[in-house]
Amino acid sequence: MDYYSHQYFESSFGCKPTCFEEQEQVTVLYRDGNAKDPRISDFMSLWLPSLLLLGIGTSFIVVSFFQIKRLRGSIEMN
């Protein structure tokens, strides 16, 4: 039984210079029974979108915190 299957696809995530060389072997992740949505198992393609959203959300929370603190200070002065 052949455990290695050679299929070709393009990742939806790209980088310059290229993250991988052509014909380089990589680990591909997919859900059982759904090989139509494969993902290359590397940090950038798996975690970068989540980390970007986390950073944006954290910045909104920090800015909101300082705005609330500033508004409370101005209310106490009046």
Note the pLDDT tens digit of each residue in 22-48: 778 888 888 887 777 778 888 887 888
Asked whether the predicted pLDDT for residue 49 surpasses 80, the reply is yes
DSSP code string of 49-65: HHHHHHHHHHHHHHHHH
The residue-averaged pLDDT of 54-72 equals 94
Asked whether the predicted pLDDT for residue 1 surpasses 50, the reply is no
Q: Is the pTM of this model over 0.75?
A: no
Q: Give dist(CA 7, CA 26) in Å, integer.
A: 11
pLDDT of residue 5: 64
pLDDT of residue 6: 66
Which stretches does DSSP call E strand in the chain?
28-31, 34-40
